[in-house]
A and B are shown apart, each in its own frame.
Chain A
Amino acid sequence: MGLLSIIRKIKRKEKEMRILMVGLDNSGKTTIVLKINGEDTSVISPTLGFNIKTITYQKYMLNIWDVGGQKTIRSYWRNYFEQTDGLVWVVDSSDLRRLNDCKAELDNLLKEERLSGASLLILANKQDIKGALAPDEIAKVLNLEAMEKSRHWKIVGCSAYTGEGLLEGFDWLVQDVASRIYVLD
Protein backbone atom coordinates (compact mmCIF):
# COMPACT_ATOMS: atom_id res chain seq x y z
CA MET A 1 0.00 0.00 0.00
CA GLY A 2 1.48 3.28 -1.05
CA LEU A 3 1.54 6.37 1.06
CA LEU A 4 -0.94 8.07 -1.21
CA SER A 5 -3.55 5.41 -0.76
CA ILE A 6 -3.14 5.57 3.00
CA ILE A 7 -3.64 9.29 2.95
CA ARG A 8 -6.64 8.87 0.71
CA LYS A 9 -8.09 6.36 3.08
CA ILE A 10 -7.67 8.61 6.10
CA LYS A 11 -9.15 11.44 4.14
CA ARG A 12 -12.14 9.34 3.20
CA LYS A 13 -12.61 8.32 6.77
CA GLU A 14 -12.65 11.92 7.80
CA LYS A 15 -15.60 12.57 5.57
CA GLU A 16 -17.63 9.99 7.38
CA MET A 17 -20.34 10.91 9.78
CA ARG A 18 -22.06 8.70 12.22
CA ILE A 19 -25.77 9.41 12.56
CA LEU A 20 -27.95 7.76 15.19
CA MET A 21 -31.70 7.57 14.59
CA VAL A 22 -33.86 7.00 17.65
CA GLY A 23 -37.41 7.66 18.80
CA LEU A 24 -40.44 5.76 20.07
CA ASP A 25 -41.69 2.75 18.16
CA ASN A 26 -44.05 3.56 15.29
CA SER A 27 -42.46 6.98 14.73
CA GLY A 28 -41.15 6.10 11.26
CA LYS A 29 -37.37 5.84 11.67
CA THR A 30 -36.83 3.00 9.23
CA THR A 31 -39.20 4.53 6.69
CA ILE A 32 -37.26 7.81 6.83
CA VAL A 33 -33.92 6.09 6.25
CA LEU A 34 -35.23 4.05 3.34
CA LYS A 35 -36.96 7.07 1.83
CA ILE A 36 -33.77 9.15 1.95
CA ASN A 37 -31.93 6.33 0.30
CA GLY A 38 -34.58 6.11 -2.42
CA GLU A 39 -35.70 2.62 -1.50
CA ASP A 40 -39.14 1.05 -1.50
CA THR A 41 -41.04 1.95 1.67
CA SER A 42 -44.21 -0.02 1.10
CA VAL A 43 -43.31 -3.05 3.21
CA ILE A 44 -41.48 -2.29 6.43
CA SER A 45 -41.71 -4.46 9.51
CA PRO A 46 -41.13 -3.02 12.98
CA THR A 47 -37.39 -3.09 13.58
CA LEU A 48 -36.20 -6.03 15.64
CA GLY A 49 -32.71 -4.83 16.52
CA PHE A 50 -31.16 -2.27 14.21
CA ASN A 51 -30.32 -1.43 10.58
CA ILE A 52 -27.19 0.29 9.29
CA LYS A 53 -27.24 2.25 6.05
CA THR A 54 -24.28 3.90 4.43
CA ILE A 55 -25.39 6.77 2.27
CA THR A 56 -23.34 9.22 0.24
CA TYR A 57 -24.81 12.58 0.97
CA GLN A 58 -23.30 15.65 -0.69
CA LYS A 59 -19.58 15.07 -0.19
CA TYR A 60 -19.99 13.08 2.98
CA MET A 61 -20.47 9.48 3.81
CA LEU A 62 -23.27 9.01 6.30
CA ASN A 63 -23.35 5.90 8.45
CA ILE A 64 -26.92 5.87 9.63
CA TRP A 65 -27.76 3.65 12.56
CA ASP A 66 -31.47 3.04 12.74
CA VAL A 67 -32.25 1.43 16.09
CA GLY A 68 -35.60 -0.19 16.93
CA GLY A 69 -37.87 1.82 19.22
CA GLN A 70 -39.97 -0.87 20.91
CA LYS A 71 -39.97 -0.50 24.69
CA THR A 72 -38.13 -3.79 25.22
CA ILE A 73 -35.15 -2.74 23.15
CA ARG A 74 -34.90 0.93 24.12
CA SER A 75 -32.46 -0.02 26.85
CA TYR A 76 -30.03 -1.09 24.12
CA TRP A 77 -29.91 2.36 22.56
CA ARG A 78 -26.95 3.29 24.72
CA ASN A 79 -24.86 0.63 23.00
CA TYR A 80 -24.89 2.85 19.94
CA PHE A 81 -24.04 6.20 21.55
CA GLU A 82 -20.27 6.05 21.10
CA GLN A 83 -18.84 8.47 18.52
CA THR A 84 -22.21 9.73 17.35
CA ASP A 85 -21.87 12.95 15.33
CA GLY A 86 -25.52 13.55 14.61
CA LEU A 87 -28.55 12.50 16.57
CA VAL A 88 -31.96 12.26 14.90
CA TRP A 89 -34.97 12.10 17.19
CA VAL A 90 -38.08 11.05 15.30
CA VAL A 91 -41.54 11.95 16.59
CA ASP A 92 -44.88 10.57 15.43
CA SER A 93 -46.72 13.90 15.33
CA SER A 94 -50.07 12.15 15.09
CA ASP A 95 -49.61 10.12 18.29
CA LEU A 96 -50.83 12.71 20.74
CA ARG A 97 -51.33 10.28 23.58
CA ARG A 98 -47.72 9.20 23.78
CA LEU A 99 -46.12 12.63 23.53
CA ASN A 100 -45.48 12.36 27.27
CA ASP A 101 -43.49 9.16 26.76
CA CYS A 102 -41.75 10.78 23.85
CA LYS A 103 -40.64 13.72 25.95
CA ALA A 104 -39.48 11.50 28.80
CA GLU A 105 -37.37 9.32 26.51
CA LEU A 106 -35.82 12.32 24.78
CA ASP A 107 -34.99 13.98 28.10
CA ASN A 108 -33.33 10.76 29.19
CA LEU A 109 -31.32 10.55 26.03
CA LEU A 110 -30.05 14.10 26.24
CA LYS A 111 -28.69 13.49 29.74
CA GLU A 112 -26.26 11.06 28.14
CA GLU A 113 -22.74 12.42 28.23
CA ARG A 114 -21.56 10.50 25.20
CA LEU A 115 -24.16 12.33 23.14
CA SER A 116 -23.45 15.77 24.51
CA GLY A 117 -21.41 16.79 21.49
CA ALA A 118 -23.86 15.54 18.87
CA SER A 119 -26.02 17.85 16.79
CA LEU A 120 -29.69 17.13 17.38
CA LEU A 121 -32.26 17.02 14.59
CA ILE A 122 -35.85 16.51 15.65
CA LEU A 123 -38.06 15.25 12.87
CA ALA A 124 -41.75 15.89 13.49
CA ASN A 125 -42.81 13.07 11.22
CA LYS A 126 -46.20 12.16 9.72
CA GLN A 127 -47.12 15.75 8.87
CA ASP A 128 -49.13 14.34 5.98
CA ILE A 129 -51.66 12.84 8.40
CA LYS A 130 -54.63 15.03 9.13
CA GLY A 131 -54.67 15.95 12.80
CA ALA A 132 -50.90 15.75 13.26
CA LEU A 133 -49.33 18.44 15.45
CA ALA A 134 -47.26 21.08 13.66
CA PRO A 135 -43.50 21.25 14.36
CA ASP A 136 -43.83 24.35 16.56
CA GLU A 137 -46.48 22.60 18.66
CA ILE A 138 -44.22 19.56 19.02
CA ALA A 139 -41.37 21.87 20.05
CA LYS A 140 -43.57 23.32 22.76
CA VAL A 141 -44.65 19.91 24.07
CA LEU A 142 -41.07 18.64 24.13
CA ASN A 143 -39.98 21.91 25.73
CA LEU A 144 -37.05 22.21 23.35
CA GLU A 145 -36.38 25.84 24.27
CA ALA A 146 -35.26 24.69 27.68
CA MET A 147 -32.39 22.67 26.24
CA GLU A 148 -28.83 23.52 27.16
CA LYS A 149 -27.42 26.44 25.25
CA SER A 150 -24.43 24.44 24.03
CA ARG A 151 -26.58 22.00 22.08
CA HIS A 152 -26.99 22.53 18.34
CA TRP A 153 -30.55 21.57 17.52
CA LYS A 154 -33.31 22.08 15.00
CA ILE A 155 -36.84 20.79 14.56
CA VAL A 156 -38.22 20.11 11.10
CA GLY A 157 -41.66 18.90 10.08
CA CYS A 158 -41.56 16.04 7.62
CA SER A 159 -43.39 13.15 6.08
CA ALA A 160 -41.58 9.91 5.40
CA TYR A 161 -44.61 8.95 3.35
CA THR A 162 -44.26 11.78 0.83
CA GLY A 163 -40.61 12.57 1.51
CA GLU A 164 -41.37 16.19 2.32
CA GLY A 165 -39.01 17.89 4.75
CA LEU A 166 -36.50 15.04 4.94
CA LEU A 167 -33.84 16.73 2.83
CA GLU A 168 -34.26 20.01 4.66
CA GLY A 169 -33.63 18.23 7.94
CA PHE A 170 -30.65 16.20 6.80
CA ASP A 171 -29.11 19.19 5.00
CA TRP A 172 -29.08 21.09 8.25
CA LEU A 173 -27.73 18.12 10.22
CA VAL A 174 -24.90 17.37 7.81
CA GLN A 175 -23.91 21.04 7.54
CA ASP A 176 -23.98 21.49 11.27
CA VAL A 177 -21.87 18.39 11.94
CA ALA A 178 -19.45 19.34 9.15
CA SER A 179 -19.00 22.85 10.45
CA ARG A 180 -18.06 21.49 13.84
CA ILE A 181 -15.82 18.65 12.74
CA TYR A 182 -14.29 19.67 9.43
CA VAL A 183 -13.52 23.28 10.16
CA LEU A 184 -10.57 23.27 7.84
CA ASP A 185 -12.50 22.21 4.74
Chain B
Amino acid sequence: MDEKKTASNAGETEALDDALQKKHLSMLERLSNRHQNRLDNALTRRSESESSSSPSFESTSSFFSRFSDSKRSIESQLAVSRTASSDPTQLKSHFEKISASISDLEKLVAENSYFLPSYDVRASLKTVSDLKQSLENLNSELIPKKKFSFRNKANKKESIAQEVKEPSPLNCSSVISDKTSFAVRESPGLRNRKGEVLMEDFRGKEVGEFTISDLDCCEVRIIGCLRALFVHRLKNCKVYVGPVLGSILIEEVEGCIFVMASHQIRIHTAKKSDFYLRVRSRPIIEDSSGVRFAPYHLTYEGIEEDLRGASLDEETENWANVDDFKWLRAIQSPNWSILPENERVRITNTSTLDNIE
Protein backbone atom coordinates (compact mmCIF):
# COMPACT_ATOMS: atom_id res chain seq x y z
CA MET B 1 0.00 0.00 0.00
CA ASP B 2 2.76 2.32 1.05
CA GLU B 3 4.70 1.28 -1.89
CA LYS B 4 1.75 1.91 -4.07
CA LYS B 5 1.32 5.33 -2.58
CA THR B 6 4.89 6.29 -3.12
CA ALA B 7 4.69 4.94 -6.60
CA SER B 8 1.61 6.95 -7.32
CA ASN B 9 3.24 9.88 -5.62
CA ALA B 10 6.20 9.48 -7.80
CA GLY B 11 3.86 9.23 -10.76
CA GLU B 12 2.14 12.40 -9.64
CA THR B 13 5.31 14.34 -9.24
CA GLU B 14 6.45 13.09 -12.60
CA ALA B 15 3.19 14.22 -14.15
CA LEU B 16 3.52 17.49 -12.35
CA ASP B 17 7.03 17.87 -13.67
CA ASP B 18 5.81 17.07 -17.13
CA ALA B 19 3.05 19.61 -16.90
CA LEU B 20 5.43 22.19 -15.57
CA GLN B 21 7.85 21.52 -18.33
CA LYS B 22 5.13 21.78 -20.92
CA LYS B 23 4.00 25.02 -19.44
CA HIS B 24 7.52 26.28 -19.42
CA LEU B 25 8.03 25.28 -23.02
CA SER B 26 4.81 26.85 -24.17
CA MET B 27 5.71 29.99 -22.31
CA LEU B 28 9.05 30.10 -24.04
CA GLU B 29 7.33 29.57 -27.33
CA ARG B 30 4.88 32.33 -26.66
CA LEU B 31 7.68 34.61 -25.66
CA SER B 32 9.64 33.91 -28.77
CA ASN B 33 6.52 34.35 -30.86
CA ARG B 34 5.90 37.67 -29.31
CA HIS B 35 9.45 38.66 -29.85
CA GLN B 36 9.18 37.66 -33.49
CA ASN B 37 5.93 39.58 -33.82
CA ARG B 38 7.47 42.64 -32.38
CA LEU B 39 10.40 42.36 -34.71
CA ASP B 40 8.12 41.89 -37.68
CA ASN B 41 6.05 44.85 -36.68
CA ALA B 42 9.08 46.97 -36.29
CA LEU B 43 10.25 45.89 -39.69
CA THR B 44 6.98 46.59 -41.43
CA ARG B 45 6.69 49.88 -39.62
CA ARG B 46 10.10 50.81 -40.81
CA SER B 47 9.46 49.79 -44.38
CA GLU B 48 6.17 51.66 -44.32
CA SER B 49 7.84 54.78 -43.15
CA GLU B 50 10.48 54.25 -45.77
CA SER B 51 7.98 53.99 -48.57
CA SER B 52 5.71 56.75 -47.41
CA SER B 53 8.04 59.42 -46.23
CA SER B 54 11.32 58.74 -47.87
CA PRO B 55 12.54 62.08 -49.11
CA SER B 56 10.18 64.36 -47.27
CA PHE B 57 10.86 64.20 -43.55
CA GLU B 58 12.62 67.44 -43.18
CA SER B 59 13.89 67.25 -39.67
CA THR B 60 17.46 66.71 -38.76
CA SER B 61 16.66 64.62 -35.71
CA SER B 62 14.43 62.14 -37.52
CA PHE B 63 17.06 61.85 -40.20
CA PHE B 64 19.70 61.12 -37.60
CA SER B 65 17.65 58.54 -35.76
CA ARG B 66 17.08 56.69 -39.02
CA PHE B 67 20.64 57.14 -40.08
CA SER B 68 22.08 55.76 -36.85
CA ASP B 69 19.56 52.91 -36.82
CA SER B 70 20.63 51.63 -40.17
CA LYS B 71 24.24 52.36 -39.42
CA ARG B 72 24.03 50.17 -36.32
CA SER B 73 22.32 47.37 -38.19
CA ILE B 74 24.97 47.46 -40.91
CA GLU B 75 27.72 47.39 -38.30
CA SER B 76 26.21 44.41 -36.57
CA GLN B 77 25.84 42.63 -39.90
CA LEU B 78 29.46 43.37 -40.61
CA ALA B 79 30.45 42.04 -37.21
CA VAL B 80 28.72 38.70 -37.69
CA SER B 81 30.14 38.10 -41.13
CA ARG B 82 33.30 36.56 -39.71
CA THR B 83 31.31 33.90 -37.93
CA ALA B 84 28.40 33.71 -40.34
CA SER B 85 29.65 31.13 -42.74
CA SER B 86 32.73 29.91 -44.44
CA ASP B 87 30.93 29.11 -47.66
CA PRO B 88 32.06 31.78 -50.15
CA THR B 89 28.77 31.90 -52.03
CA GLN B 90 26.81 32.48 -48.82
CA LEU B 91 29.35 35.02 -47.69
CA LYS B 92 29.05 36.74 -51.00
CA SER B 93 25.30 37.10 -50.77
CA HIS B 94 25.75 38.28 -47.18
CA PHE B 95 28.15 40.95 -48.39
CA GLU B 96 25.86 41.90 -51.22
CA LYS B 97 23.07 42.45 -48.73
CA ILE B 98 25.31 44.64 -46.63
CA SER B 99 26.45 46.56 -49.65
CA ALA B 100 22.84 47.14 -50.64
CA SER B 101 22.01 48.52 -47.23
CA ILE B 102 25.06 50.76 -47.37
CA SER B 103 23.97 52.20 -50.66
CA ASP B 104 20.47 52.68 -49.24
CA LEU B 105 22.06 54.61 -46.42
CA GLU B 106 24.01 56.68 -48.90
CA LYS B 107 20.84 57.39 -50.79
CA LEU B 108 19.18 58.47 -47.57
CA VAL B 109 21.95 60.98 -46.98
CA ALA B 110 21.74 62.19 -50.54
CA GLU B 111 17.99 62.61 -50.46
CA ASN B 112 18.16 64.65 -47.29
CA SER B 113 21.26 66.60 -48.15
CA TYR B 114 19.30 69.66 -49.16
CA PHE B 115 18.17 70.50 -45.67
CA LEU B 116 21.03 69.07 -43.61
CA PRO B 117 23.80 71.37 -42.48
CA SER B 118 26.84 70.86 -44.62
CA TYR B 119 28.91 69.56 -41.73
CA ASP B 120 26.35 66.83 -41.08
CA VAL B 121 26.28 65.88 -44.74
CA ARG B 122 30.03 65.55 -44.73
CA ALA B 123 30.06 63.60 -41.48
CA SER B 124 27.34 61.24 -42.71
CA LEU B 125 29.09 60.68 -45.99
CA LYS B 126 32.29 59.97 -44.09
CA THR B 127 30.45 57.34 -42.06
CA VAL B 128 29.12 55.80 -45.25
CA SER B 129 32.53 55.66 -46.83
CA ASP B 130 33.99 54.16 -43.64
CA LEU B 131 31.33 51.46 -43.73
CA LYS B 132 32.14 50.83 -47.37
CA GLN B 133 35.81 50.58 -46.55
CA SER B 134 35.30 48.06 -43.76
CA LEU B 135 33.01 46.03 -45.99
CA GLU B 136 35.66 46.03 -48.67
CA ASN B 137 38.34 45.01 -46.18
CA LEU B 138 36.22 42.14 -44.90
CA ASN B 139 35.38 41.16 -48.43
CA SER B 140 38.97 40.94 -49.53
CA GLU B 141 39.92 39.17 -46.32
CA LEU B 142 37.23 36.52 -46.29
CA ILE B 143 36.65 35.84 -49.96
CA PRO B 144 39.68 34.76 -51.90
CA LYS B 145 40.13 36.95 -54.92
CA LYS B 146 39.23 35.28 -58.16
CA LYS B 147 41.59 35.64 -60.98
CA PHE B 148 40.32 37.30 -64.08
CA SER B 149 40.92 35.37 -67.21
CA PHE B 150 39.54 35.15 -70.67
CA ARG B 151 41.13 31.81 -71.35
CA ASN B 152 39.13 29.12 -73.11
CA LYS B 153 36.24 31.47 -73.40
CA ALA B 154 36.45 31.70 -77.15
CA ASN B 155 35.90 27.98 -77.48
CA LYS B 156 33.02 27.96 -75.09
CA LYS B 157 31.39 30.81 -76.89
CA GLU B 158 31.58 29.09 -80.18
CA SER B 159 29.76 26.09 -78.79
CA ILE B 160 27.13 28.37 -77.28
CA ALA B 161 26.84 30.11 -80.58
CA GLN B 162 26.07 26.88 -82.33
CA GLU B 163 23.47 25.96 -79.76
CA VAL B 164 21.63 29.21 -80.02
CA LYS B 165 21.85 29.70 -83.74
CA GLU B 166 18.37 28.29 -84.24
CA PRO B 167 16.23 30.58 -82.13
CA SER B 168 17.97 33.68 -83.37
CA PRO B 169 15.93 34.08 -86.58
CA LEU B 170 12.86 34.28 -84.40
CA ASN B 171 14.47 37.13 -82.55
CA CYS B 172 15.19 38.81 -85.82
CA SER B 173 11.64 38.86 -87.02
CA SER B 174 10.31 40.25 -83.76
CA VAL B 175 12.80 43.06 -83.94
CA ILE B 176 12.01 43.81 -87.52
CA SER B 177 8.30 43.91 -86.83
CA ASP B 178 8.68 46.72 -84.29
CA LYS B 179 10.82 48.74 -86.65
CA THR B 180 10.03 52.32 -87.51
CA SER B 181 6.93 52.93 -89.50
CA PHE B 182 8.86 54.73 -92.22
CA ALA B 183 10.84 52.85 -94.78
CA VAL B 184 14.24 53.95 -93.63
CA ARG B 185 17.27 52.06 -94.79
CA GLU B 186 19.23 50.21 -92.16
CA SER B 187 22.62 51.53 -91.18
CA PRO B 188 25.67 49.26 -91.13
CA GLY B 189 26.02 47.35 -87.91
CA LEU B 190 25.88 44.18 -85.85
CA ARG B 191 22.40 43.11 -84.80
CA ASN B 192 20.42 40.26 -83.27
CA ARG B 193 23.12 37.87 -82.18
CA LYS B 194 23.47 35.67 -79.17
CA GLY B 195 26.56 34.14 -77.63
CA GLU B 196 28.97 35.05 -80.41
CA VAL B 197 32.32 36.71 -80.79
CA LEU B 198 31.90 39.43 -83.40
CA MET B 199 34.85 41.14 -84.95
CA GLU B 200 35.05 44.03 -87.42
CA ASP B 201 38.31 45.34 -88.77
CA PHE B 202 37.92 48.84 -90.23
CA ARG B 203 41.60 49.72 -90.43
CA GLY B 204 42.23 51.66 -93.60
CA LYS B 205 38.53 51.90 -94.43
CA GLU B 206 36.32 54.93 -94.24
CA VAL B 207 33.42 54.13 -92.00
CA GLY B 208 30.55 56.45 -91.18
CA GLU B 209 28.12 55.60 -88.47
CA PHE B 210 27.89 52.09 -87.06
CA THR B 211 25.21 50.43 -84.95
CA ILE B 212 25.48 47.65 -82.40
CA SER B 213 22.07 46.49 -81.28
CA ASP B 214 20.08 43.62 -79.80
CA LEU B 215 22.99 41.47 -78.70
CA ASP B 216 22.95 38.95 -75.89
CA CYS B 217 26.08 37.47 -74.32
CA CYS B 218 28.32 38.56 -77.17
CA GLU B 219 31.80 39.91 -77.39
CA VAL B 220 32.25 42.71 -79.92
CA ARG B 221 35.64 43.89 -81.12
CA ILE B 222 35.81 46.81 -83.50
CA ILE B 223 39.25 47.67 -84.76
CA GLY B 224 39.91 50.96 -86.51
CA CYS B 225 38.14 54.35 -86.52
CA LEU B 226 34.44 55.16 -86.71
CA ARG B 227 32.69 58.48 -87.19
CA ALA B 228 29.75 57.74 -84.91
CA LEU B 229 28.58 54.77 -82.89
CA PHE B 230 25.11 53.80 -81.70
CA VAL B 231 24.68 51.09 -79.09
CA HIS B 232 21.20 49.84 -78.29
CA ARG B 233 19.75 46.95 -76.27
CA LEU B 234 22.74 44.90 -75.17
CA LYS B 235 22.76 42.32 -72.42
CA ASN B 236 25.81 40.76 -70.81
CA CYS B 237 28.12 41.81 -73.61
CA LYS B 238 31.70 42.91 -73.83
CA VAL B 239 32.32 45.67 -76.33
CA TYR B 240 35.78 46.86 -77.34
CA VAL B 241 35.98 49.69 -79.87
CA GLY B 242 38.69 51.79 -81.39
CA PRO B 243 38.48 55.60 -81.50
CA VAL B 244 35.17 57.23 -82.50
CA LEU B 245 35.66 60.63 -84.06
CA GLY B 246 32.19 61.97 -83.34
CA SER B 247 29.95 60.75 -80.59
CA ILE B 248 28.75 57.54 -79.01
CA LEU B 249 25.15 57.07 -77.97
CA ILE B 250 24.35 54.15 -75.68
CA GLU B 251 20.83 53.11 -74.74
CA GLU B 252 19.33 50.20 -72.79
CA VAL B 253 22.28 48.09 -71.80
CA GLU B 254 22.65 45.76 -68.85
CA GLY B 255 25.49 43.76 -67.37
CA CYS B 256 27.96 44.89 -70.02
CA ILE B 257 31.56 45.97 -70.24
CA PHE B 258 32.43 48.76 -72.67
CA VAL B 259 35.91 49.86 -73.65
CA MET B 260 35.60 52.94 -75.86
CA ALA B 261 37.16 56.26 -76.82
CA SER B 262 35.25 59.18 -78.32
CA HIS B 263 34.74 62.94 -78.36
CA GLN B 264 31.33 62.67 -76.72
CA ILE B 265 29.67 59.82 -74.87
CA ARG B 266 26.04 59.70 -73.77
CA ILE B 267 24.75 56.78 -71.74
CA HIS B 268 20.99 56.28 -71.31
CA THR B 269 19.15 53.60 -69.29
CA ALA B 270 22.21 51.53 -68.45
CA LYS B 271 22.19 49.08 -65.58
CA LYS B 272 25.10 47.43 -63.82
CA SER B 273 27.69 48.06 -66.49
CA ASP B 274 31.33 49.04 -66.52
CA PHE B 275 32.71 51.69 -68.86
CA TYR B 276 36.39 52.07 -69.65
CA LEU B 277 36.45 55.43 -71.37
CA ARG B 278 38.57 58.07 -72.93
CA VAL B 279 36.50 61.16 -73.72
CA ARG B 280 37.39 64.67 -74.75
CA SER B 281 34.31 66.09 -73.07
CA ARG B 282 32.37 65.03 -70.00
CA PRO B 283 30.51 61.75 -70.37
CA ILE B 284 26.88 61.85 -69.27
CA ILE B 285 24.44 59.31 -67.88
CA GLU B 286 20.67 59.53 -67.76
CA ASP B 287 18.18 57.06 -66.21
CA SER B 288 21.07 54.78 -65.30
CA SER B 289 22.13 52.97 -62.17
CA GLY B 290 25.01 50.84 -60.99
CA VAL B 291 27.35 52.07 -63.70
CA ARG B 292 31.06 52.28 -63.01
CA PHE B 293 33.85 54.09 -64.81
CA ALA B 294 37.52 53.48 -65.41
CA PRO B 295 40.12 54.79 -67.86
CA TYR B 296 40.37 53.40 -71.38
CA HIS B 297 43.03 50.99 -72.31
CA LEU B 298 42.90 48.93 -75.39
CA THR B 299 45.51 47.91 -77.84
CA TYR B 300 45.61 46.57 -81.33
CA GLU B 301 48.09 47.01 -84.06
CA GLY B 302 47.95 50.64 -85.15
CA ILE B 303 45.76 51.96 -82.35
CA GLU B 304 48.23 54.73 -81.55
CA GLU B 305 47.90 56.19 -85.03
CA ASP B 306 44.12 55.81 -84.95
CA LEU B 307 43.92 57.60 -81.61
CA ARG B 308 46.16 60.39 -82.86
CA GLY B 309 44.11 60.72 -86.01
CA ALA B 310 40.97 61.11 -83.94
CA SER B 311 42.70 63.53 -81.50
CA LEU B 312 42.15 61.01 -78.76
CA ASP B 313 45.77 60.22 -78.00
CA GLU B 314 45.76 62.36 -74.87
CA GLU B 315 44.35 61.16 -71.57
CA THR B 316 41.99 63.91 -70.44
CA GLU B 317 40.91 62.23 -67.18
CA ASN B 318 37.37 63.05 -68.23
CA TRP B 319 36.34 59.42 -67.78
CA ALA B 320 35.80 60.28 -64.11
CA ASN B 321 33.92 63.57 -64.74
CA VAL B 322 30.52 62.04 -65.26
CA ASP B 323 27.40 64.21 -65.34
CA ASP B 324 24.23 62.49 -64.21
CA PHE B 325 21.18 64.21 -65.69
CA LYS B 326 19.03 62.50 -63.08
CA TRP B 327 21.15 63.87 -60.26
CA LEU B 328 21.60 67.60 -60.54
CA ARG B 329 22.97 68.12 -57.05
CA ALA B 330 26.29 69.07 -55.60
CA ILE B 331 27.06 65.75 -54.00
CA GLN B 332 28.08 62.54 -55.75
CA SER B 333 25.32 60.77 -57.63
CA PRO B 334 24.44 57.32 -56.24
CA ASN B 335 23.94 56.07 -59.79
CA TRP B 336 27.58 55.84 -60.78
CA SER B 337 30.95 55.28 -59.20
CA ILE B 338 34.57 54.84 -60.07
CA LEU B 339 35.51 51.24 -60.68
CA PRO B 340 37.97 50.17 -57.96
CA GLU B 341 41.38 49.52 -59.41
CA ASN B 342 41.56 45.92 -58.25
CA GLU B 343 38.33 45.12 -60.10
CA ARG B 344 39.41 46.53 -63.43
CA VAL B 345 39.81 44.15 -66.32
CA ARG B 346 43.18 44.00 -67.97
CA ILE B 347 42.98 44.18 -71.71
CA THR B 348 46.02 43.54 -73.72
CA ASN B 349 45.25 43.15 -77.35
CA THR B 350 42.18 42.80 -79.53
CA SER B 351 43.94 42.33 -82.85
CA THR B 352 43.48 38.60 -82.75
CA LEU B 353 40.98 36.45 -81.00
CA ASP B 354 43.40 34.48 -78.86
CA ASN B 355 45.72 36.88 -77.21
CA ILE B 356 43.30 38.61 -74.95
CA GLU B 357 44.33 37.69 -71.48
Contact = CB atoms under 8 A, between A and B. Distances in A.
Contact of A141 (B182, B246, B281): B182
B230 A97 contact: yes
Given A44-B264, A70-B286, A97-B211, A133 B184 contact: yes
Contacts of A100: 180-182
Nearest to A101: B180
Contacts of B186: 96
A96 B268 contact: no
Interface string B321-332: 001011010000
Interface in A12-50: 25-26, 42-46, 48
Interface in A99-148: 99-100, 126, 128-133, 137, 140-141
Interface of A is mostly: loop
B332 to A, nearest CB: 16
Contact of B282 (A46, A73, A141): A46
Nearest to B209: A94
Interface string B253-281: 00000000001101010000000000011
A131 B323 contact: no
Contact of A48 (B247, B280, B311, B323): B323
A72 B326 contact: yes
Given A131-B187, A141-B184, A73 B281 contact: no
Contact of B325 (A44, A70, A97, A129): A70
A45 B287 contact: no
Interface residues of B, number: 36
A71 interface: yes
Nearest to A48: B323
A82 interface: no
Given A42-B311, A43-B281, A99-B180, A161 B187 contact: no
B266 A26 contact: yes
A132 B206 CA distance: 14
Interface string A156-169: 00000100000000
Contacts of B180: 96-97, 99-100
Contacts of A94: 187, 208-209, 227-228
A46 to B, nearest CB: 5
Nearest to A68: B325
B302 interface: no
A161 B211 CA distance: 20
A132 B311 CA distance: 23
A137 B182 CA distance: 11
A45 B208 contact: no
Contacts of A161: 246
A171 interface: no
A129 B281 contact: no
27 contacts: A26-B264, A43-B263, A45-B281, A45-B282, A46-B284, A46-B323, A48-B284, A48-B328, A70-B266, A70-B286, A72-B326, A94-B187, A94-B208, A95-B230, A96-B185, A97-B180, A97-B213, A99-B182, A99-B184, A100-B180, A100-B182, A126-B228, A129-B208, A129-B228, A130-B227, A131-B187, A132-B209
Given A46-B266, A94-B208, A96-B185, 15 more contacts: A26-B266, A44-B264, A45-B284, A70-B266, A70-B284, A95-B209, A95-B249, A96-B187, A97-B180, A97-B230, A97-B232, A100-B182, A130-B207, A131-B188, A133-B184
Q: Which 4 A-B pairs have CB atoms at the shortest separation, nearest pair first?
A: A130-B208, A45-B281, A131-B208, A45-B282
Interface of B: 180-182, 184-188, 206-209, 211, 213, 227-228, 230, 232, 246-247, 249, 263-264, 266, 268, 280-282, 284, 286-287, 311, 323, 325-326, 328
Interface of A: 25-26, 42-46, 48, 70-73, 94-97, 99-100, 126, 128-133, 137, 140-141, 161
